[in-house]
Protein backbone atom coordinates (compact mmCIF):
# COMPACT_ATOMS: atom_id res chain seq x y z
CA UNK A 1 0.00 0.00 0.00
CA UNK A 2 2.15 2.85 -1.25
CA UNK A 3 -0.60 5.49 -1.32
CA UNK A 4 -1.84 5.89 2.26
CA UNK A 5 -3.34 9.37 2.09
CA UNK A 6 -6.99 9.29 3.07
CA UNK A 7 -6.80 5.67 4.23
CA UNK A 8 -8.09 4.64 7.67
CA UNK A 9 -5.87 3.00 10.28
CA UNK A 10 -6.93 1.26 13.49
CA UNK A 11 -4.17 1.00 16.12
CA UNK A 12 -4.39 -0.84 19.44
CA UNK A 13 -2.26 0.12 22.41
CA UNK A 14 -2.14 3.57 20.86
CA UNK A 15 -2.41 5.92 23.83
CA UNK A 16 1.35 5.95 24.35
CA UNK A 17 4.61 4.39 23.19
CA UNK A 18 4.89 2.80 19.77
CA UNK A 19 1.15 2.95 19.12
CA UNK A 20 1.04 6.71 19.63
CA UNK A 21 4.18 7.06 17.53
CA UNK A 22 2.41 5.22 14.70
CA UNK A 23 -0.66 7.43 15.09
CA UNK A 24 1.36 10.64 14.81
CA UNK A 25 3.24 9.34 11.77
CA UNK A 26 0.10 8.13 10.02
CA UNK A 27 -1.74 11.40 10.63
CA UNK A 28 1.21 13.36 9.24
CA UNK A 29 0.95 11.22 6.09
CA UNK A 30 -2.70 12.22 5.61
CA UNK A 31 -4.36 9.14 7.10
CA UNK A 32 -7.37 8.96 9.38
CA UNK A 33 -6.53 7.16 12.60
CA UNK A 34 -8.47 5.39 15.32
CA UNK A 35 -6.45 5.02 18.50
CA UNK A 36 -7.63 2.26 20.84
CA UNK A 37 -6.39 1.64 24.36
CA UNK A 38 -7.59 0.14 27.62
CA UNK A 39 -7.19 3.33 29.70
CA UNK A 40 -9.49 6.25 29.01
CA UNK A 41 -7.26 8.73 30.87
CA UNK A 42 -4.34 7.80 28.61
CA UNK A 43 -6.55 8.13 25.54
CA UNK A 44 -7.64 11.60 26.62
CA UNK A 45 -4.02 12.65 27.08
CA UNK A 46 -3.06 11.19 23.70
CA UNK A 47 -5.87 13.00 21.90
CA UNK A 48 -4.62 16.20 23.46
CA UNK A 49 -1.26 15.58 21.80
CA UNK A 50 -2.69 14.74 18.38
CA UNK A 51 -4.70 17.95 17.85
CA UNK A 52 -6.20 16.44 14.74
CA UNK A 53 -9.82 16.00 13.66
CA UNK A 54 -8.71 12.94 11.68
CA UNK A 55 -8.11 11.04 14.94
CA UNK A 56 -10.72 9.22 17.00
CA UNK A 57 -10.27 7.43 20.34
CA UNK A 58 -11.95 4.22 21.51
CA UNK A 59 -11.49 2.60 24.90
CA UNK A 60 -10.80 -1.09 24.25
CA UNK A 61 -9.65 -4.21 26.02
CA UNK A 62 -8.13 -6.23 23.18
CA UNK A 63 -8.85 -9.51 24.98
CA UNK A 64 -12.61 -8.80 24.70
CA UNK A 65 -13.77 -10.09 21.31
CA UNK A 66 -17.17 -8.48 21.53
CA UNK A 67 -15.60 -5.13 22.38
CA UNK A 68 -13.21 -5.52 19.44
CA UNK A 69 -16.14 -6.03 17.07
CA UNK A 70 -17.93 -3.00 18.51
CA UNK A 71 -14.76 -0.94 18.13
CA UNK A 72 -14.53 -1.99 14.48
CA UNK A 73 -18.15 -0.94 13.94
CA UNK A 74 -17.46 2.43 15.56
CA UNK A 75 -14.33 2.99 13.48
CA UNK A 76 -16.28 2.35 10.29
CA UNK A 77 -19.11 4.62 11.44
CA UNK A 78 -16.72 7.49 12.15
CA UNK A 79 -14.26 7.20 9.25
CA UNK A 80 -15.52 4.52 6.87
CA UNK A 81 -13.63 1.47 5.62
CA UNK A 82 -10.56 0.46 7.63
CA UNK A 83 -7.48 -0.29 5.52
CA UNK A 84 -4.61 -0.59 8.00
CA UNK A 85 -4.78 -2.52 11.27
CA UNK A 86 -1.91 -2.35 13.75
CA UNK A 87 -2.26 -5.02 16.42
CA UNK A 88 0.12 -3.28 18.77
CA UNK A 89 -1.27 -3.56 22.31
CA UNK A 90 1.18 -5.30 24.60
CA UNK A 91 2.15 -5.74 28.24
CA UNK A 92 5.07 -7.39 29.98
CA UNK A 93 5.72 -9.34 33.15
CA UNK A 94 9.37 -9.10 34.04
CA UNK A 95 9.58 -12.45 35.78
CA UNK A 96 11.47 -15.69 35.32
CA UNK A 97 9.28 -18.19 33.51
CA UNK A 98 9.89 -20.96 36.06
CA UNK A 99 8.24 -18.93 38.84
CA UNK A 100 5.11 -17.82 36.97
CA UNK A 101 1.50 -18.79 37.66
CA UNK A 102 -1.39 -19.80 35.41
CA UNK A 103 -2.79 -16.29 35.90
CA UNK A 104 0.51 -14.84 34.66
CA UNK A 105 0.27 -16.98 31.53
CA UNK A 106 -3.38 -16.13 30.90
CA UNK A 107 -2.77 -12.40 31.30
CA UNK A 108 0.32 -12.02 29.14
CA UNK A 109 -0.77 -14.44 26.41
CA UNK A 110 -4.28 -12.99 26.46
CA UNK A 111 -3.04 -9.51 25.56
CA UNK A 112 0.14 -10.14 23.55
CA UNK A 113 -1.12 -13.07 21.49
CA UNK A 114 -4.89 -13.11 21.98
CA UNK A 115 -5.13 -9.41 21.22
CA UNK A 116 -3.40 -9.97 17.88
CA UNK A 117 -5.65 -12.93 17.08
CA UNK A 118 -8.74 -10.87 17.91
CA UNK A 119 -7.58 -7.97 15.77
CA UNK A 120 -6.92 -10.24 12.79
CA UNK A 121 -10.16 -12.18 13.17
CA UNK A 122 -12.22 -9.01 13.52
CA UNK A 123 -10.75 -6.81 10.81
CA UNK A 124 -9.48 -9.19 8.13
CA UNK A 125 -12.96 -10.19 6.88
CA UNK A 126 -13.91 -6.51 6.71
CA UNK A 127 -10.82 -5.58 4.69
CA UNK A 128 -11.44 -8.49 2.34
CA UNK A 129 -15.08 -7.48 1.95
CA UNK A 130 -14.43 -3.89 0.92
CA UNK A 131 -11.97 -5.09 -1.72
CA UNK A 132 -9.70 -2.04 -1.63
CA UNK A 133 -6.72 -3.87 -0.18
CA UNK A 134 -5.01 -3.05 3.06
CA UNK A 135 -2.27 -3.93 5.48
CA UNK A 136 -1.95 -5.64 8.85
CA UNK A 137 0.95 -4.89 11.18
CA UNK A 138 1.44 -7.21 14.15
CA UNK A 139 3.77 -5.90 16.83
CA UNK A 140 6.11 -8.63 18.00
CA UNK A 141 9.55 -7.80 19.40
CA UNK A 142 13.18 -8.72 19.00
CA UNK A 143 12.13 -11.26 21.63
CA UNK A 144 10.54 -13.15 18.72
CA UNK A 145 14.08 -13.94 17.56
CA UNK A 146 16.19 -13.66 20.69
CA UNK A 147 14.78 -15.38 23.77
CA UNK A 148 14.90 -13.81 27.23
CA UNK A 149 14.95 -15.63 30.54
CA UNK A 150 13.75 -12.52 32.33
CA UNK A 151 10.46 -12.25 30.44
CA UNK A 152 9.68 -15.79 29.36
CA UNK A 153 5.92 -15.55 28.85
CA UNK A 154 6.36 -12.35 26.86
CA UNK A 155 8.95 -14.09 24.70
CA UNK A 156 6.62 -17.05 24.17
CA UNK A 157 3.84 -14.74 23.01
CA UNK A 158 6.10 -12.86 20.62
CA UNK A 159 7.41 -16.07 19.05
CA UNK A 160 3.75 -17.01 18.48
CA UNK A 161 3.01 -13.63 16.88
CA UNK A 162 5.87 -14.33 14.51
CA UNK A 163 4.36 -17.67 13.51
CA UNK A 164 0.93 -16.11 13.05
CA UNK A 165 2.31 -13.30 10.89
CA UNK A 166 4.49 -15.48 8.69
CA UNK A 167 1.57 -17.87 8.15
CA UNK A 168 -0.99 -15.15 7.47
CA UNK A 169 1.01 -13.21 4.90
CA UNK A 170 0.83 -15.74 2.00
CA UNK A 171 -2.83 -16.45 2.75
CA UNK A 172 -4.02 -12.89 2.10
CA UNK A 173 -1.63 -11.70 -0.61
CA UNK A 174 -4.21 -12.61 -3.26
CA UNK A 175 -6.58 -10.04 -1.75
CA UNK A 176 -3.99 -7.25 -2.03
CA UNK A 177 -3.55 -7.29 1.74
CA UNK A 178 -0.02 -6.96 3.05
CA UNK A 179 1.16 -8.32 6.39
CA UNK A 180 4.14 -7.15 8.42
CA UNK A 181 5.66 -7.97 11.77
CA UNK A 182 7.21 -5.14 13.77
CA UNK A 183 10.21 -6.20 15.87
CA UNK A 184 11.33 -3.33 18.09
CA UNK A 185 14.00 -3.31 20.72
CA UNK A 186 14.12 -0.84 23.62
CA UNK A 187 11.61 1.99 23.12
CA UNK A 188 10.76 4.93 25.34
CA UNK A 189 7.36 3.61 26.42
CA UNK A 190 5.26 2.82 29.49
CA UNK A 191 5.43 -0.96 29.25
CA UNK A 192 7.10 -1.03 32.68
CA UNK A 193 3.75 0.09 34.11
CA UNK A 194 1.97 -3.01 32.84
CA UNK A 195 0.96 -4.12 36.33
CA UNK A 196 -1.35 -1.10 36.59
CA UNK A 197 -3.76 -2.67 34.09
CA UNK A 198 -3.57 -6.27 35.27
CA UNK A 199 -7.15 -7.64 35.47
CA UNK A 200 -8.60 -8.21 38.92
CA UNK A 201 -9.56 -11.77 38.00
CA UNK A 202 -5.94 -12.69 37.19
CA UNK A 203 -4.25 -11.70 40.43
CA UNK A 204 -2.89 -15.06 41.58
CA UNK A 205 0.65 -14.63 42.89
CA UNK A 206 2.84 -13.20 40.20
CA UNK A 207 6.18 -14.63 39.26
CA UNK A 208 9.01 -13.20 41.30
CA UNK A 209 10.66 -10.17 39.74
CA UNK A 210 14.12 -8.73 40.10
CA UNK A 211 13.46 -5.79 42.44
CA UNK A 212 16.71 -4.01 41.53
CA UNK A 213 15.97 -4.32 37.84
CA UNK A 214 12.42 -3.02 38.23
CA UNK A 215 13.69 -0.04 40.21
CA UNK A 216 15.97 0.89 37.30
CA UNK A 217 13.54 0.02 34.51
CA UNK A 218 11.87 3.42 34.20
CA UNK A 219 15.23 5.10 33.65
CA UNK A 220 16.24 2.35 31.24
CA UNK A 221 13.06 2.86 29.21
CA UNK A 222 13.87 6.55 28.79
CA UNK A 223 17.01 5.51 26.90
CA UNK A 224 14.86 3.76 24.32
CA UNK A 225 14.14 4.82 20.76
CA UNK A 226 11.64 7.64 20.24
CA UNK A 227 8.28 6.03 19.38
CA UNK A 228 7.80 8.38 16.44
CA UNK A 229 11.02 7.07 14.92
CA UNK A 230 9.54 3.59 15.14
CA UNK A 231 6.32 4.92 13.61
CA UNK A 232 8.21 6.26 10.60
CA UNK A 233 9.79 2.86 10.06
CA UNK A 234 6.39 1.17 10.32
CA UNK A 235 4.92 3.44 7.65
CA UNK A 236 7.89 2.73 5.39
CA UNK A 237 7.39 -1.01 5.98
CA UNK A 238 3.72 -0.73 5.02
CA UNK A 239 4.56 1.13 1.82
CA UNK A 240 7.22 -1.46 0.94
CA UNK A 241 5.05 -4.39 2.03
CA UNK A 242 7.92 -5.68 4.15
CA UNK A 243 7.36 -8.89 6.06
CA UNK A 244 9.80 -7.88 8.80
CA UNK A 245 10.09 -4.34 10.12
CA UNK A 246 13.22 -4.05 12.22
CA UNK A 247 13.81 -0.74 13.98
CA UNK A 248 16.92 -1.35 16.10
CA UNK A 249 20.24 -2.12 14.34
CA UNK A 250 21.98 -3.14 17.58
CA UNK A 251 20.47 -6.63 17.35
CA UNK A 252 22.05 -7.60 14.02
CA UNK A 253 24.96 -9.64 15.36
CA UNK A 254 22.92 -11.37 18.06
CA UNK A 255 20.30 -12.33 15.49
CA UNK A 256 23.00 -13.57 13.11
CA UNK A 257 24.41 -15.75 15.89
CA UNK A 258 20.96 -17.20 16.59
CA UNK A 259 20.44 -18.28 13.00
CA UNK A 260 23.99 -19.54 12.64
CA UNK A 261 23.38 -21.76 15.68
CA UNK A 262 20.19 -23.07 14.07
CA UNK A 263 21.96 -23.88 10.81
CA UNK A 264 24.86 -25.49 12.67
CA UNK A 265 22.41 -27.78 14.47
CA UNK A 266 20.90 -29.08 11.23
CA UNK A 267 21.89 -32.73 10.58
CA UNK A 268 24.45 -33.60 7.93
CA UNK A 269 23.71 -35.88 5.02
CA UNK A 270 21.44 -35.91 2.00
CA UNK A 271 17.68 -35.58 2.32
CA UNK A 272 15.49 -38.51 1.34
CA UNK A 273 14.34 -37.85 -2.27
CA UNK A 274 10.68 -38.56 -1.44
CA UNK A 275 10.67 -36.13 1.46
CA UNK A 276 12.63 -33.61 -0.55
CA UNK A 277 10.06 -33.75 -3.35
CA UNK A 278 7.32 -32.87 -0.89
CA UNK A 279 9.32 -29.99 0.60
CA UNK A 280 10.05 -28.61 -2.86
CA UNK A 281 6.31 -28.78 -3.65
CA UNK A 282 5.53 -26.96 -0.39
CA UNK A 283 8.07 -24.22 -1.11
CA UNK A 284 6.79 -23.77 -4.66
CA UNK A 285 3.24 -23.44 -3.38
CA UNK A 286 4.32 -20.86 -0.82
CA UNK A 287 6.15 -18.86 -3.50
CA UNK A 288 3.08 -18.95 -5.74
CA UNK A 289 0.85 -17.67 -2.92
CA UNK A 290 3.16 -14.72 -2.34
CA UNK A 291 3.62 -13.87 -6.01
102 noted as active-site residue:
no
83 pLDDT higher than 60: yes
How does DSSP classify residue 181?
Answer: E
The active-site residue, picked from 102, 154, 175, 244, is 154
Task: Establish if 37 belongs to a structural domain.
Answer: yes
Phi, psi of 248 (to 5 degrees): -115, 110
Task: Establish if 289 belongs to a structural domain.
Answer: no
Task: Establish if 178 belongs to a structural domain.
Answer: yes
Chain-centre distance for alpha carbon 216:
25
**Average pLDDT estimate for 182-195:** 80
Beta-carbon contacts of residue 223 (< 8 Å; ≥ 6 apart) = 186, 188
Which residue segment(s) compose the domain that 103 sits in? 8-252
CA 70, 110, 87, 38 dihedral sign is positive
**Burial annotation 194-229 (CB, 10 A radius, 16+ → b, else e):** beeebeeebeeebbebeeeeeeebeeebeebbebbb
Task: Establish if 126 belongs to a structural domain.
Answer: yes
Task: Establish if 180 belongs to a structural domain.
Answer: yes
Task: Establish if 267 belongs to a structural domain.
Answer: no
Q: Which CATH number belongs to the domain containing residue 233 in this structure?
A: 3.40.50.720
State the pLDDT confidence band at 191, using cuts at 50, 70 and 90. low
State the pLDDT confidence band at 94, using cuts at 50, 70 and 90. confident
Task: Establish if 134 belongs to a structural domain.
Answer: yes
| Structure confidence at residue 51 (pLDDT) | 86
The C-alpha atoms of residue 236 and residue 239 are separated, in whole angstroms, by: 5
What's the number of domains the chain is made of? 1
Task: Establish if 266 belongs to a structural domain.
Answer: no
State the pLDDT confidence band at 194, using cuts at 50, 70 and 90. low
Amino acid sequence: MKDVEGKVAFITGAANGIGLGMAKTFLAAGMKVVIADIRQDHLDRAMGQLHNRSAHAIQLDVTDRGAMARAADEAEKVFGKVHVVCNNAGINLFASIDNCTYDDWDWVLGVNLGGVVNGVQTFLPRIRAHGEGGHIVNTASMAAFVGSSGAGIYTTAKFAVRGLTESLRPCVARYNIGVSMLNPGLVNSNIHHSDEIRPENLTAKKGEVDADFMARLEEIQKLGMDPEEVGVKVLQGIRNNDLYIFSHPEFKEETRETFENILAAMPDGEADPKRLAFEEFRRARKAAEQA
